[in-house]
Amino acid sequence: NYLKEHQDLGKKIKNILDYELQHIKEHRPDIINSWEYYKKFLEFFKE
């Protein structure tokens, strides 16, 4: 997997998404919860 090989890039992407999605996460968490690929992306950082 590309992100496993390039963890520094994955962390940068996660930081950008965390910043850009702050408003949606606060006001419409149901939208974020419906994003299956985003959930899979976040699983990389739980390890």
- Which CA distances in Å does 23 have to 11, 34, 38, 40, 44? 20, 16, 16, 21, 23
pLDDT digits (tens, 9 = 90+) for 3-47: 889 999 999 999 999 999 999 999 999 999 999 999 999 998 886
Domains of the chain: total: 1
Q: CB neighbours of 33 closer than 8 A, spacing ≥ 6?
A: 39
Burial letters 5-37, b for 16+ CB under 10 A, else e: eeeeebeeeeeeeeeeeeeeeeeeeeeeeeeee
Question: Which domain range does residue 22 map to?
Answer: 2-44
Provide the whole-model pTM: 0.81
